[in-house]
Amino acid sequence: MAEKNKKERFFSRLAEFRVLYFMLLPAMVYYIIFCYIPMGGIAMAFQDFNFRRGIFGSKWIGFQYFITFFTSYDFPRLLRNTLVIGFIKCIIEFPFPIILALMLNEIHNEQFKRVTQTISYMPYFMSSVIVVTMMQRLFAPETGIVNSIIGALGGDRSTFFMMEAKYFYQLLFGMDIWKNIGYSSIIYLAAISGIDAELYEAAEIDGCSKLKKMRFITLPGIVGTIGILFILNVGSLVSSNYQQLWLLRTPGNMALADTLDLFVVRVGLSDGKFGYATAIGLVQGFAGLILVVISNKIARKYTDISVW
């Protein structure tokens, strides 16, 4: 009887919210087709994969690819580069969208605010190819704007910034901030808009300055969103935007730009070692999962914030 009541409640709830479930359907189909079904390809990480034989006919070799990768000469260098770039992208860059959202929230001129938001969002929709090409023109030796300004100030205008390793992290950081800061701030602006306006009114009556309202109302109001996004960001420490790094990579900075993602693309597509590339990708995914679980457990233990 209890089982029957559960089924009835389930179907009645399904009928009540059928429009919302119908709207959710395309997203579910997308993830099933492009995320869950391809997970069957993980089997290649344990096979000597052959196109003719396919996944079901290829020879099983166990953990041979994993052992080969962890004992290879490339592993320490790739891991170090990946973690450094992941730290820049996930930790150092993390506060900047929050700062932008707080600044935009303080703009009361709606027209100016909309224009500012649009300008900050636009770079996100530009291809990495376009952005890197712009950087090549800006930082070109002799003819680039940056070198032209340096030359006008009496400096050396022949510096090839894109080629020298000592400028790689600065260029990567600047490109990431310029391209992503506006779009990443949207979720924080949405969280800020959900804060009760009466809190601000009460604080204003009490004579609180804008800085105090930001500190004691706005930031505590979005701390849950910040915490959840930070936990999810931690999982990206062992991955990077391979398209961006592939375009930024030059013979001069290759020692720093070569990461696990680039190695997977190079080994899998260029060398045709699909099983080996799959094994490395599986290690990345598993490491990201562990990082998210650990950070979520720590956050749940010491704060009230957690993803689950």
Residue pLDDT, tens place only, 47-61: 888 878 888 888 899
Least confident of 1-10, 56-65, 150-159, 203-212: 1-10
> Average per-residue pLDDT in the chain?
88
Tell me, yes or no, whether 227 lies in a domain.
Answer: yes
Tell me, yes or no, whether 166 lies in a domain.
Answer: yes
Q: Are residues 8 and 156 in the same domain?
A: no
Residue 196 CA to residue 108 CA, distance in Å, equals 17
Whether the predicted pLDDT of 83 surpasses 60 = yes
| CATH assignment at residue 222 | 1.10.3720.10
Q: Are residues 289 and 202 in the same domain?
A: yes
Residue 281 CA to residue 62 CA, distance in Å, equals 16
Tell me, yes or no, whether 107 lies in a domain.
Answer: yes
Residue pLDDT, tens place only, 254-291: 889 889 999 998 898 888 888 999 999 999 989 988 99
Q: How confident is the model at residue 65 (pLDDT cuts 50, 70, 90)?
A: very high
Tell me, yes or no, whether 308 lies in a domain.
Answer: no
Please tell me whether the overall predicted TM-score, pTM, comes out greater than 0.75 for this model.
Answer: yes
Mean pLDDT over residues 63-67, rounded?
93
Torsion of CA 290, 294, 297, 300, to 10 degrees: -120
- When divided into structural domains, the chain yields a total of 2
Neighbours of 234 (CB within 10 A): 22
Whether the predicted pLDDT of 20 surpasses 80 = yes
Closest to 230 (Cα-Cα) out of 94, 98, 97, 87:
94
Give the residue numbers spanning the domain of 287: 76-302
Query: Can you read off the two tokens belonging to residue 176?
Result: 């990431």
51 compared with 185, residue with greater pLDDT: 185
Burial of 222 (0-12, 13-18, 19+ CB in 10 A): buried
Q: Are residues 120 and 268 in the same domain?
A: yes
